[in-house]
Each structure stands twice: as C-alpha cells, then as structure tokens.
Amino acid sequence: MPGSRLHRIFSTPLRLTRRAVLYAGLVLLVLVFVPLIVASSRWLHASRIDLTTDQLYTLTPGTLHIVDTLQRPLRLTLYFSDHATRDLPQLRSYEQRVREMLQEMVARSHGRIRLQVIDPVPYSDDEASAEGGGLTAANGGSNGERVFFGLAGSAMSGGNLDGDNAEDRVPEKTLAIAFFDPAREAFLEYDIAKLLYELNQVSKPSIGVISSLPVDGNPVLSEQPWTVMQQLGQLFDVKTLNPATLKQVDEHMKVLLLIQPKRLPPDAQYAIDQYVLRGGHLVVFVDPDAELDNTPYTADSPTFPDHGSDLPRLFAAWGVSYDPNKIVLDRARALQIELAGSSLNHPAMLDLGEQELNRNDVVTASLQRLNVSTTGYFDLAPDAHTRLIPLLQSSAEAEVVPTQRVLDASNDPATLLQNYKADGAHYVLAARLRGTFGSAFPERAALPGHLVHSAPNAEVILVADTDLLSDRLWVEPQTILGETMMRVFANNGDFAINLVDNLSGSSALLSIRGRSTSQRPFTRVQALRNVADQKFLQKEQELEQELADTRRRLDELQPAKGSHASTATAEQRREIEQFRKRQLAINKELRDVQHQLNAEIDALGLRLKFINIVLVPALVVLIGLLYGWRRNRYSRQRR
C-alpha cells in the first residue's frame, strides 16, 4: 500500500512532464519547419527530382551547356489557346509537357531567361501579338476557334531583364516556333534549345559552298540562283569557295557544302580532309548523273558528257562504298512525270514518302515528301570503322542498274521496267556517317598542323543525289495578282535547310538527340489484348461466316421483288422466321465476343482501382493501427 500510494504521487507529475515535452516538441517543429518551407519555396525552387523512366524532365548536357553559356538575356512567350482547347485533352497534356520543359530551362538560366504564358483569346491584342511574332494558328478548336500553340523568343539588349524599363526595350532579335506539333515531341528539347542557341547568336553563321553546278545562277544570262541557295542566303552567310585555289577551309566556317565534286585538286581535297578532322561539318552531294550538269564532252567520256561525281580518296579513308556508275530504280516509288504529252511513272525518278524517311532523325522527322532523280547509294566498306545512319532510303522494290542503261532510256523510261527484278534491299540514298575518320593524306603527315585522325564521334552527311536541290523537283513558279511566286510541292528545300541548320549549331546542339515521348503505351493492357484477340478471334470468324451463310439463305428464301408475300409456302415462312431468329442470335453472340475481348482489360482496371483505392490505404491504416497497438502495449508493460 505505501508503495502504491508513492507511485500515484509521482506518476502524475511525470505524465505532465511527458505531455509538456510533447507540446514543446510540436512547437519546436512548427518553429523550424515553417521557416524552412518558406525558405525552400523562395530559394530552392529549381531543385527537382525526375522520377520518370526515361528521364523526360532532365535536360541533356547539350541543353545545359547552351543555357549556361547564354550571353544575352532572352524573353520567351508561350502562346497557348487555353479556352479554345478545352475539348482537346491531348493538346492540353502536351502543353503541360512543353511548359514544364521551359520552366526547367528558366530555372537553370539564373535569371537570363524570362518566361511568360499568354492565352491569345480571339480578337485580342494578344492574338495579334502571336501572329506578329511568327506563330501559326491551327483550326479545330472549341466552337471553331483558332488554336495558337507556339513559342516566341526575343533577344534583349542589356545585362538583365529586370528594371523599370525592361518591358519597353526593343528586342535585338526575334525568332519563333510557329506551332508545337505533338508528332515532334521526341524533338521538343532540340527545337527549344535550337531557338535559344539562335537567339544568342549575334551574326549569321558562315557556311561555304564548293560546287561544279550552276547553283548561283548566271548574272550574264539573267539566270537566278537556285531557290535553295536563295533560302540559304536568307539564313546564313554563304561564301562560295574556289577549289582551284583552296588551301585551307576557315575553321570558323560552320558548314561546308560540297555539291557535285569533280576533279578536285589534291590541295582542295586535303583542305576538306583536315577540315573534317578538326571537327568541321561537311555535307557531300554526289550523283551518278547530275542532270543539270553542263560539263561538255571529255576524252574520258566520248559518247556522253561526264555528269557523274565521286570523292574516291576521301570516301575510301572514311570507309564509304559508293559507285558513280550505278543508279537506283524503284518501281514502288516511281515519280509520275509528263513526257511527250503523255503521263508515265519514271522508275529512276523517285517520290520518297514517310516510309523512306528516317522519322527518328531531327532533319527528316517533319518532312512528308522528297523527290530525287537518278540517285546513287552508299554502303560501308568491309574494313570500315564508321557507322552509316540512313536519312533517305529506297523501298524493298528497288533495283540497281548501270548508269548507262538509264541514259539510254532517257527518251523511253518505260523500258527500264523490262526484265525488272527487285533486289529486296533498302538502298541508302542519304545518311549520316559517324565515327573516327582517318586522314586520306598520310604522306602529308610532316606538314605543320597535320591531323592523323578525327575525334571519336565525328560526322559527315552524305547525299547520293544533286538533282533534289534543283528547282524542277520541288518548286515551280506561278503568277498571283501579277507577282511571280514559287509553289512548293515537295520538301527538298526543307531537307537542305534542315541539314545546314542542324550542322551549323554548336556541338552541344548537335549532341541533343530525339527523346522518348511522354505518351507511354500500356504494355500490360496490350499484352492482354493480344491474348484476348488470339483467344476469341477464331470464334468471331466462325460466327461471322455463319452469319453470312444465314443472310445468303434468307435472300434465297425471300419472295422475289414485286410478288406478294403470300406466295411463300408455310414451310418457307417458318424457315425464314427460324433464320431470322438465328441471325439475331448470332448478332448477340458477336456482341458477347466483343464484350469478352474487353473483359480481361476491364478486370485489370478494377484490380488496379482496388489496389490504389482500397488495398494500399487499408495497408497504411493497418500498419498504423499495429504500430499504435504495439506502442500502447509497450507503454503498459513499462508501467
């Protein structure tokens, strides 16, 4: 008894002390965590964790380099028609993806990039601003409204975007992504990083051109430059190089275009060789038969002018196999032309569609159609240490024939289809060549500055056709209201511009490849659907065949048109009624089969809902109750 009384005397103050300590701890947690949360929201807003499988929200090192090296403040405006897209959930989801990537770049820029998001409602100043900034509206919004979804960027003068007059400053340079196409989601980071890179450039990138074709026209004869060269001149500082006097390619030249190289002097070839080994970006256009080549007859070609081109010494050093005496025919992609007043399909002139373009390369991902003519093909030599990544290729219905045969059939291309035999191979018509390139001039190793080999990931782009650059294969002039304009009917010009545009960026920009998309397939659901299809397909086919037989029998039993229904016998009427009932039963069974096709998928959905809504919360509650029970038990034992 005395011990029990003593315990009661001291137990109450002890419980009060424990409760006081608990309250004091809670107060301390509030005092610590509230300032911590405020501080983190203010100074740690850029700290994020990307838990996606393919690291969709983690910027690549190339993008980080571009953002970190910005020299001028940039102002970005994302225009998105929020109200007009309320019935377009896929586009709204993609807008969230675009916005989050932009916000990631803004957070990385430390104030060098300012982002603004605007909903350009119809007939507003914002809508006019979007159109003036270079954005393109798409039709199909709610209530027929136009949908804007693009990015306008401006490079501003001055050191930062803060200050009272920041909004009034006139931008030094403006560019835009006209419309964010969800089909290009894999290249979203590249497109935005490219915009930032170009806004940061003070002057046009410099590119060089070496060509034996009249790509620059002839002012004496009032011939205009080819349209593709005019477009390049609008975007780049184009310099024509003379191969006869070329000793070295300027290292500041972003891209070198080599079009129809013929009989290049050794010094010019050596200059190109060393330019590539130094990391220069080269695009080579060769052709077994350049149809706009105006080279006269030579001693080497007494029958026909020499309209083929090759780069044998450099190709051999790079591990490239190319035969200037072979042309790819493709009857599946033959281009329809007009010849002598009649229309025909020319198997040596190809209309390449989306199946022949590399949809995973940023250069060709958005193109729909390219026209080529008398094109050659590339392959790797047996001892090659480089990789050939196709950009354009033929269909499996292609056949390789000698160049002379195509020249002989110039007046009657239909003869090319005689004894035609498809090779069953996809011939590479244009490609990226990547790897470590060795010098084609080892005998000049003693020269100052000579390089023996390139960096491990050097790149050259090869195209086995020059005719695709000519106007006749992708544009034609037309007069509208007294003005001559070019009507574009193929993406040849876009292909050439994309090549130069892609290569003229920094090495950081070139390192940004296509990413995975945020639209991930439900692999488990697809597997269930495949199993269900195999399981019920045979039953469905049997029912459909029985239904077809039943309908045919009904048609046979029905009285002929124009005769009275009473002409049918009672037995026929009973049989007709039976077949009608069977037809209804078969239709019901078909519906049941369709329901069974989705039953397992629905069951999977129910299981997932049960796990997420019931099982997981129940487990959390059970664990909490178990933990509380054990703690109370432990407390009672201590007493």
Question: Does residue 16 surpass a pLDDT of 80?
Answer: no
Question: Does residue 417 surpass a pLDDT of 50?
Answer: yes
Are both 458 and 316 inside the same structural domain? yes
| Rounded Cα gap, residues 317 and 313, in angstroms | 6
| Rounded Cα gap, residues 18 and 10, in angstroms | 13
Question: Does residue 483 surpass a pLDDT of 70?
Answer: no
446: in domain: yes
| Rounded Cα gap, residues 524 and 537, in angstroms | 20
Answer left, alpha or beta for residue 59, where phi above 0 means left and psi between -120 and 50 means alpha. beta
| Rounded Cα gap, residues 439 and 156, in angstroms | 44
514: in domain: no
235: in domain: no
**In a 10 Å sphere around its CB, with 0-12 CB exposed, 13-18 middle and 19+ buried, how is residue 362 labelled?**
buried
Are both 341 and 468 inside the same structural domain? yes
- The model's pTM is 0.66
Lookup: tokens for 432: 């990226």
513: in domain: no
Lookup: tokens for 524: 């488990």
| Rounded Cα gap, residues 124 and 119, in angstroms | 10
Are both 192 and 279 inside the same structural domain? no
The whole-number pLDDT of residue 235 equals 82
| Rounded Cα gap, residues 464 and 430, in angstroms | 6
Are both 485 and 617 inside the same structural domain? no
Q: What percent of the chain has pLDDT over 70?
A: 76
Lookup: tokens for 121: 């409602």
**In a 10 Å sphere around its CB, with 0-12 CB exposed, 13-18 middle and 19+ buried, how is residue 370 labelled?**
buried
The whole-number pLDDT of residue 605 equals 67
Are both 391 and 531 inside the same structural domain? no
Q: What is the DSSP string of 138-189?
A: BS--GGG--B-EEEEEEEPSSS-S-STTGGGPPPSEEEEE----GGGGGGHH
Q: How confident is the model at residue 9 (pLDDT cuts 50, 70, 90)?
A: very low
In this structure, are residues 147 and 139 in contact, taking their beta carbons and an 8 Å threshold? Answer: yes
The domain total for the chain is 4
Dihedral of CA 268/271/276/281: which sign? Answer: negative
E strand or H helix at 416, and its extent? none
| Rounded Cα gap, residues 623 and 613, in angstroms | 16
432: in domain: yes
The whole-number pLDDT of residue 621 equals 81
Lookup: tokens for 349: 């002139």
Residue type for position 365: A
Closest Cα to residue 430, out of 382, 489, 496?
A: 496
E strand or H helix at 136, and its extent? none
Question: Does residue 369 surpass a pLDDT of 60?
Answer: yes
The whole-number pLDDT of residue 620 equals 82
The whole-number pLDDT of residue 296 equals 67
pLDDT digits (tens, 9 = 90+) for 514-543: 555 555 555 555 565 565 555 555 565 666
pLDDT digits (tens, 9 = 90+) for 308-344: 999 999 999 999 999 999 999 999 999 988 887 778 8
Lookup: tokens for 469: 């650059």
pLDDT digits (tens, 9 = 90+) for 56-109: 667 888 889 889 989 889 999 999 999 889 888 889 999 999 999 999 999 999
Are both 265 and 392 inside the same structural domain? yes
Are both 9 and 87 inside the same structural domain? no
DSSP state of 21: H
Q: Which residue has the higher pLDDT, 162 or 213?
A: 213
215: in domain: no
Are both 85 and 31 inside the same structural domain? no
Lookup: tokens for 186: 């894999």
Which residue is listed with tokens 């989601």? 185
The whole-number pLDDT of residue 225 equals 93
Residue type for position 602: D
DSSP state of 17: H
Beta bridge partners of 54: none
Closest Cα to residue 188, out of 503, 518, 432?
A: 518
> Domain limits at 85?
61-199
| Rounded Cα gap, residues 574 and 566, in angstroms | 13
Question: Does residue 240 surpass a pLDDT of 90?
Answer: yes
509: in domain: no
Average of pLDDT values for 562-585? 64
Average of pLDDT values for 624-635? 79
State the first-to-last Cα distance of the chain, in angstroms, to the nearest integer: 17
461: in domain: yes
Average of pLDDT values for 242-259? 95
Are both 399 and 470 inside the same structural domain? yes
The whole-number pLDDT of residue 476 equals 87
Are both 39 and 65 inside the same structural domain? no
Helices and strands per DSSP (H, E), number in the chain? 14, 20
The whole-number pLDDT of residue 563 equals 46
In this structure, are residues 286 and 324 in contact, taking their beta carbons and an 8 Å threshold? Answer: yes
Are both 430 and 534 inside the same structural domain? no
Are both 36 and 1 inside the same structural domain? yes
Per-residue exposure over 419-441, b if at least 16 CB sit within 10 Å of its own CB, e if not = eeeeeebbbbbbbbbbbebbbbb
Which residue is listed with tokens 């024939």? 401
Question: Does residue 565 surpass a pLDDT of 70?
Answer: no
